[in-house]
Structure 1
Amino acid sequence: MSTITDVAREAGVSVATVSRALRGLDRVSPRTRERVLKVAEDLDYVASPTATSLASGRTQVVGVVAPFLMRWFFATLVSAIEKTLRQHGHHVLLFDLEDDSDNQRLPLSQNMLWKRVDGVITLNLPMTDQELELVDRLGLPLVAIGTAVADRPNVRIDDALAMRLATEHLVSLGHERIAYIGAIPSNVAHIQTPQARLEAFREVMRSHGLEEHKQWILGSAWTADSAAEDMRTLLASADRPTAVAAASDEMAIGAMAAARAQGVRIPEDLSVIGIDDHALSNVLGLTTVRQDVAAQGREAAEILLRALGYGPSGGGPTEVVVPTELIVRSSTAPPAS
């Protein structure tokens, strides 16, 4: 079996240069890197992860920290991050901080991070002062997706703009009686996105002089099942909205299912719009505000890789706002006259 010394001797470079070339670091000329890669392939050389870690002080692993991992949004982010990191020989170590209740989460600890990861990517997760102090003490670069983390690079969408697009679409169709799905208690661990979207909905309603019906502001725990249950209760009342703005496609899908189960036609009797462009949204004809979730994962991974010394030096953007887009399908229409 070939060793790194064999590769260095055959390529005519030092062992350190072989190591940098194989790890994708930018202190190697393209011509030298190409020669080293070819020699390594010809000799069937495979670097030992343990040896590489000992030599470089790095684990080639990035910690991805999330409040939930079972939901489509987070799963899509993790997949995009992993694929991007893999191109540079790095992999993902997942930390699911979900607790049994929605209003708290597990803390990030030193045992999770120390000598286990080279950097951290957080997924829509506020960090406590103690957690930030820990990350700084361990010297780990951190990139946040969604919820911003103080003085760290951030990749996100404009949540308020996304909900304004959704609500303005309903208003432009002539809807005045609009319900909202996605309100949560203020003490929930990942509050920034839900609060921004609810406030944007309220701003649009106020700007058009439309009444906000408190009984039409639904929580729904950001799941399809919960949204369906809340919608069944709402539709059982004689006082019904003509449209629903959901803060996520999963909740919109749940609302549509509950409405159809009760014989409420979509969009003739009830228009429904969401945010995300979930994998099922096109099939179900859901009008939505699309966000490119995978692009956010790729961008965050690339920013972290630059912080670890891969790719061009000189930084790059520390805040990336990924655009959103209204996608009109068959779930929205003007209200019945």
Structure 2
Amino acid sequence: MVKVGQQSVNMVDVAREAGVSVSAVSRALAGGKGVSERTRLRIQQLSEQLGYVVSPEASKLSSGRTGRVGLVTPTINEWFYSSVIAGVAAELTAAGIDVLLYPLNDSDERRRFFEDLPARRKVDAVINIAFPLTEEEWDRLDVMGVHAVVAGIITPGRPSVGVDDELAARHAVNHLLGLGHRRIAMISSIDPEGAHYTADVSREQGYREALSKAGIDVDEELVVPVPWGIDGGSQGMDKILTLPHLPTAIFAFSDEVAYGALQSLRRSGLSVPQNMSIIGIDDHPMAETMDLTTVHQSPFEQGVLAGRLSLNLMNGESPDQQIVCPANLVVRRSTCPPGDL
């Protein structure tokens, strides 16, 4: 008998000791059919005595699956994306699935990824975290023969999880309208490299529709596109403050854009909300500390659901293609009826 620790033990050793074929050992340890219960127990006992552990890689390959899911994301440094990643990882690791992370920080990295497809044959599914793909890029994913899921944005025709961004924007603007505001600016978001993010378009559309339904024409000088982030929000607010006729309220594309706008307003000596109200979208962890009125969404929960959706697809199920998560207004003290601007 081979002694534990004396040499590396493999499936051949177990088969020799048990007096059965290697395939019988494989089936017995994998819970497959074709092996009597008595033989299965003997093989399991011998495996324990010999210190043999089934290789996860071999087990996965024998089932035709890798046991891995690839996460493709434009960044891992921002709250929304890291929260989605955390949700996906929590769901997949609990199911025994390994997660491979592919951060694509700029257009060059993205181009190389889709040219080389480093995830080919390494994963059973790919989860794209909230960034737009061209039709060519979708085609490249499709030819990999793996399931593709989108987390963070609803994508027509693709399995996806996210909020209704247009509805979230309408919630925000309708809150300001309900307080009596009529001159409402929007600090919108644009990608510096020209990518067209669905949320950018949908949230601006929600802003325009809410004003239109209230009988208010959109003043285009009040729609200020900026690069996403705190610095962008500050730049956008600085531009709005140069207008001869100031708005009484600001709808910011996201909470982080709103933080920059708040910073600029306070530097200018204007009080929030007495002089100008401001509202964002996301309910970022700092939003409560900043007392920011916002529209809540849970990127962690979206990640969990995207992970679950990918598991269902890998198991041959046909779940709902689009899962729309709730987006609810959270009123704090950055909004009030219009003042005397």
**Which TM bucket (shorter chain)?**
0.7 to 0.9
The code of the aligned residue for 1:98 comes to N
Task: Tell me how far 1:256 sits from its aligned partner.
Answer: 0.9
What does 1:265-284 align with in structure 2 at a 5 Å threshold? 265-284=271-290
Q: Distance in 2 between matches of 1:190 and 1:333?
A: 33
The code of the aligned residue for 1:68 comes to T
**Which of 218, 221, 244 does residue 212 from structure 1 map onto?**
218
**Which of 241, 246, 261 does residue 255 from structure 1 map onto?**
261
- Relative to structure 1, the CA distance from residue 314 to residue 191 in structure 2 (aligned partners, 3 Å threshold; closer, same or farther) is closer
For the residue of structure 2 that corresponds to 1:252, the secondary structure is: helix
Unaligned runs of 5+ in 1: 22-26, 28-34
The reply to whether residue 319 of structure 1 matches residue 325 of structure 2 is no
The code of the aligned residue for 1:318 comes to Q
Aligned position for 1:153: 159
- Relative to structure 1, the CA distance from residue 60 to residue 68 in structure 2 (aligned partners, 3 Å threshold; closer, same or farther) is same
- Relative to structure 1, the CA distance from residue 16 to residue 57 in structure 2 (aligned partners, 3 Å threshold; closer, same or farther) is same
**Given that residues 127 and 149 in structure 1 are in contact (C-alpha distance below 8 angstroms), is that contact kept between their aligned partners in structure 2?**
no
Aligned position for 2:137: 131
Q: Distance in 1 between matches of 2:269 and 2:28?
A: 69
In the TM superposition, what whole-angstrom CA distance separates every residue of 1:188-234 from its partner, at most 9, and x where no partner exists? 32421111110110111122122422222111211111111221232
Task: Tell me how far 1:335 sits from its aligned partner.
Answer: 0.8
What does 1:103-142 align with in structure 2 at a 5 Å threshold? 105-106=110-111, 108-142=114-148
- Relative to structure 1, the CA distance from residue 238 to residue 4 in structure 2 (aligned partners, 3 Å threshold; closer, same or farther) is farther
**Given that residues 148 and 159 in structure 2 are in contact (C-alpha distance below 8 angstroms), is that contact kept between their aligned partners in structure 1?**
yes
Q: Distance in 1 between matches of 2:98 and 2:148?
A: 15
For the residue of structure 2 that corresponds to 1:156, the secondary structure is: strand
What does 1:176-191 align with in structure 2 at a 5 Å threshold? 176-184=182-190, 188-191=194-197
**Given that residues 179 and 243 in structure 1 are in contact (C-alpha distance below 8 angstroms), is that contact kept between their aligned partners in structure 2?**
yes
Aligned position for 1:168: 174
The number of equivalent residue pairs is 314
Aligned position for 1:293: 299
**Given that residues 162 and 275 in structure 1 are in contact (C-alpha distance below 8 angstroms), is that contact kept between their aligned partners in structure 2?**
yes
Aligned position for 1:81: 88
In the TM superposition, what whole-angstrom CA distance separates every residue of 1:160-203 from its partner, at most 9, and x where no partner exists? 11000000000000111111011437983242111111011011
Q: TM-score, normalised by structure 1?
A: 0.82
Q: Distance in 2 between matches of 1:270 and 1:166?
A: 15
**Which of 58, 72, 80 does residue 79 from structure 2 map onto?**
72
Structure 1 stretch displaced more, 251-260 or 167-176: 251-260
**Given that residues 67 and 190 in structure 1 are in contact (C-alpha distance below 8 angstroms), is that contact kept between their aligned partners in structure 2?**
no
Structure 1 stretch displaced more, 51-60 or 134-143: 51-60
- Could you tell me the percent identity over the aligned residues? 33
Task: Tell me how far 1:59 sits from its aligned partner.
Answer: 2.7
The code of the aligned residue for 2:180 comes to G
**Given that residues 154 and 324 in structure 2 are in contact (C-alpha distance below 8 angstroms), is that contact kept between their aligned partners in structure 1?**
no
Task: Tell me how far 1:277 sits from its aligned partner.
Answer: 0.7
Unaligned runs of 5+ in 2: 19-23, 34-40
Structure of higher CA gyration radius:
2
Structure 1 stretch displaced more, 74-83 or 123-132: 123-132
The code of the aligned residue for 1:67 comes to P
**Given that residues 177 and 211 in structure 1 are in contact (C-alpha distance below 8 angstroms), is that contact kept between their aligned partners in structure 2?**
no
Aligned position for 2:55: 48
- Relative to structure 1, the CA distance from residue 315 to residue 211 in structure 2 (aligned partners, 3 Å threshold; closer, same or farther) is closer
The code of the aligned residue for 1:321 comes to V
**Which of 315, 332, 337 does residue 329 from structure 1 map onto?**
332
Aligned position for 2:245: 239
Q: Distance in 2 between matches of 1:217 and 1:45?
A: 66
**Given that residues 157 and 291 in structure 1 are in contact (C-alpha distance below 8 angstroms), is that contact kept between their aligned partners in structure 2?**
yes
For the residue of structure 1 that corresponds to 2:118, the secondary structure is: helix
In the TM superposition, what whole-angstrom CA distance separates every residue of 1:231-279 from its partner, at most 9, and x where no partner exists? 1232244421111001111101111111112211111111110111111
Task: Tell me how far 1:294 sits from its aligned partner.
Answer: 1.0
Q: Distance in 2 between matches of 1:47 and 1:318?
A: 36
Aligned position for 1:30: none
- Relative to structure 1, the CA distance from residue 208 to residue 139 in structure 2 (aligned partners, 3 Å threshold; closer, same or farther) is same
Aligned position for 2:37: none
RMSD: 3.3
**Given that residues 275 and 290 in structure 1 are in contact (C-alpha distance below 8 angstroms), is that contact kept between their aligned partners in structure 2?**
yes
Q: Distance in 1 between matches of 2:203 and 2:63?
A: 44
- Relative to structure 1, the CA distance from residue 105 to residue 195 in structure 2 (aligned partners, 3 Å threshold; closer, same or farther) is farther
